[in-house]
Amino acid sequence: MRTLSILAIAITVAGCATHGGTRPFKLAAGPATAPAGEHGAPTTGPANPAYAEVAKVLKAGDLREEVYTITYGRNDVTVTAEMGDLPPLAWASQFQFFMCPCGRTNVVGQFTVLDFEAGDVLDELREGQMRIVSVGPAFVGERPRLTMVRFQGEGSAEALATTIKKCFQWVGEERMKPQKPAAVP
């Protein structure tokens, strides 16, 4: 009986990561989105100030069913798999922002990067306090090799978006730009 009581308490007090678990999704105070478009189509812009902050740091995204999604395709490399050349959006990086009932902003996302870019992206995500969910191949037999880095995080919208933006310095053409020398103390 004692075990059942403890289990019932654990289930009852479950909440977000700051509260210890999961709980049914509820919106933070006030509406988190603009009215839904026809048949679930994305709305024109975020009504939630947190999503506006994300858009300011990264770029405008699509708001659909309480989730603000930003997608980045790449055109700096051609990826070929068994099925032929893959369009950039078939292997895009994507980030979904949504509100926690506690008022924090959550993000789940994935970077799809060339295999030699993955280590630096992982380091930047960890530095920004993101939790790495998985790292693995994107396709079977693609050339060049792609790696998917999946992650999640919670905090302020600006901090989350800034961490993602910092990761892009290690991807594609940004990676090839000359680095500024570090200041000598």
pLDDT at 72: 94
pLDDT at 119: 96
Does residue 148 belong to any structural domain of this protein? Answer: yes
Rounded to 5, what percent of the chain is helix, strand, coil?
30, 30, 40
Does residue 19 belong to any structural domain of this protein? Answer: no
Does residue 23 belong to any structural domain of this protein? Answer: no
Residue-number span of the structural domain to which 169 is assigned: 45-175
Count: domains in the chain: 1
Q: Per-residue pLDDT tens for 23-42?
A: 333 333 333 334 444 434 44
pLDDT at 93: 96
pLDDT at 45: 54
Residue 102: give its domain's CATH number: 3.30.70
Does residue 162 belong to any structural domain of this protein? Answer: yes
Instruction: Determine how many CB atoms are found less than 10 A away from the CB of residue 164.
Output: 27
pLDDT at 46: 60
Beta bridge partners of 4: none
- Given a cut of 50, the residues of the chain with pLDDT beneath it are 1-15, 18-44
H helices present in 21-82, as ranges: 49-57
22/154 Cα distance (integer angstroms): 13
132/60 Cα distance (integer angstroms): 25
